[in-house]
């Protein structure tokens, strides 16, 4: 082999090795980033980390948000958590589950949780926010709607028109309360209202405790109304008018982080066309269980 060909081969080997090391370094960096919870800066400032959890939908299934909160609550490298809210609320029990997890992390883990309301932080979403250390909202954010709602469609007249009959066998007067094929009886209406009033009292009590306000003062404004962030500030429903970056800066300062904190965001499920074609699509189809969910439900929901 000539000297020229040997030198060329040597440079090819050196170049190939350098390229392999470069690819390996990039792969390692991507792997660390993905498995660090989707951090904005996964390698640097490892100790100055703030977890960001998104509450940005109607609250029906609390488990993803509760799981993310628990994960950050148990991670000693996470100095604080910001709950980024853009939600009109949702189910009563589902909202309560997230609310209790926020309270648990604050009391047991002694970890600061701050809420940043983007466009909407109403009803069940505000219920959750009331358990936090501090609430921020933009001036034009929608805040409030302290109240409970239950509603359904009564298609009794449609059944009569179609000459169909709804047949119900039951064991007690109230077993089919909310049957969409007929009107409520006076006793059923009183029964349903009592349930709603009890849930309403729980909501008012939670806001009263979380915001350090008198129960009567909260109840006097708990008429289902919403307010802008600017109005909510004057009513003591939030602690500051500001955007997400304001909440980040204030939270970092409050937990002793100097400089720019590292924001750690959990991986978020993304459904692609291939997921629909090749994966389990049962969650997207209206099965019998989902049809039953269209019956009476109680909601902390702004509509």
List domains and CATH numbers for the chain.
33-151+216-268+287-301 (3.90.226.10)
Better pLDDT: 47 or 239 = 239
- The answer to whether the beta carbons of residues 175 and 190 sit under 8 Å apart is no
pLDDT tens track for 72-94? 999 999 999 999 999 999 999 99
Q: What are phi and psi of 42, to 5 degrees?
A: -75, -25
At residue 38 the predicted structure's pLDDT band, cuts being 50, 70 and 90, is very low
Catalytic entry in 175, 214, 236, 271: 175
Residue 32: is its pLDDT beyond 80? no
Pairing relationship of beta strands 142-144 and 226-228 according to DSSP bridges: antiparallel
Identify the CA nearest to 76 among candidates 44, 106, 100, 111: 111
Residue 290: is its pLDDT beyond 50? no
Confidence (pLDDT) at 266:
82
At residue 291 the predicted structure's pLDDT band, cuts being 50, 70 and 90, is very low
Can 163 be counted among the known catalytic residues?
no
Lowest-confidence segment of 18-22, 124-128, 220-224, 287-291 by average pLDDT: 287-291
Q: What is the CA radius of gyration of the chain?
A: 26
Cα dist. 70→46, 58, 111, 273 in Å?
Answer: 19, 20, 11, 31
Mean pLDDT over 283-287 rounds to 50
Mean pLDDT over 102-131 rounds to 97
Torsion of the alpha carbons at 85, 87, 92 and 97, rounded to the nearest 10: -30
pLDDT tens track for 268-283? 655 555 554 555 545 5
Catalytic entry in 87, 95, 116, 123: 123
* CB proximity list for 258: less than 8 A, separation 6 or greater: 48
pTM of the model: 0.78
Can 123 be counted among the known catalytic residues?
yes
* Cα distance between residue 248 and residue 77, in whole Å: 16
At residue 40 the predicted structure's pLDDT band, cuts being 50, 70 and 90, is very low
As a three-state string, the secondary structure of the chain is CCHHHHHHHHHHHHHHHHHHHHHHHHHHHHHHHHCCCCECCCCCCCCCEEEEEEECCCECCCHHHHHHHHHHHHCCCEEEEEEEEEECEEEHHHHHHHHHHHHHHHHHCCCEEEEEEEEEEECHHHHHHCCCCEEEECCCCEEECCCCECCCCCCHHHHHHCCCCCCCCCCCCCCCCCCCCCCCCHHHHHHHHHHHHHHHHHHHHHHHHHHCCCHHHHHHHCCCCEEEHHHHHHCCCCCEECCHHHHHHHHHHHCCCCCCCEEECCCCCCCCHHHHHHCCCHHHCCCHHHHHCCCCCCEEECC
């Amino acid at each position: 082999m000539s000297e020229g060909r040997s030198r060329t081969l040597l440079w090819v080997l050196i170049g190939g090795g350098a390229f392999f090391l470069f690819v390996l370094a990039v792969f390692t960096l991507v792997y660390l980033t993905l498995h660090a919870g989707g951090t904005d800066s996964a390698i640097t400032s490892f100790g100055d980390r703030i977890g960001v959890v998104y509450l940005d939908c109607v609250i029906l299934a609390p488990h993803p948000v509760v799981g993310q909160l628990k994960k950050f609550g148990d991670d000693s490298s996470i100095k604080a958590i910001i709950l980024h809210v853009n939600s009109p609320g949702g189910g009563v029990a589902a909202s309560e589950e997230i609310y209790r997890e926020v309270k648990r992390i604050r009391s047991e883990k002694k970890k600061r949780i701050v809420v940043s309301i983007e466009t909407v932080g109403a009803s069940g979403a505000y219920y959750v926010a009331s358990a936090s250390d501090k609430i921020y909202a933009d001036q034009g954010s929608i805040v409030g709607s302290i109240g409970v709602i239950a509603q359904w469609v009564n298609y009794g007249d449609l059944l009569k028109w179609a000459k169909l009959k709804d047949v119900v066998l039951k064991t007690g007067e109230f077993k089919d309360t909310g049957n969409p094929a007929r009107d409520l009886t006076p006793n059923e209406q009183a029964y349903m209202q009592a349930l709603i009033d009890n849930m309403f009292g729980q909501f008012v009590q939670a806001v009263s405790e979380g915001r350090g306000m008198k129960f009567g003062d909260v109840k006097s404004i708990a008429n289902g109304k919403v307010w802008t962030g600017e109005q909510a500030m004057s009513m003591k429903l939030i602690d500051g008018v500001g955007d997400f970056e304001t909440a980040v800066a204030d939270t970092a300062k409050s937990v002793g982080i100097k400089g720019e904190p590292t924001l750690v965001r959990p991986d978020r499920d993304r459904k692609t066309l291939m997921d629909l074609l090749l994966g389990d699509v049962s969650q997207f189809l209206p099965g019998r269980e989902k049809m039953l969910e269209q019956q009476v439900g109680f909601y902390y929901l702004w509509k």
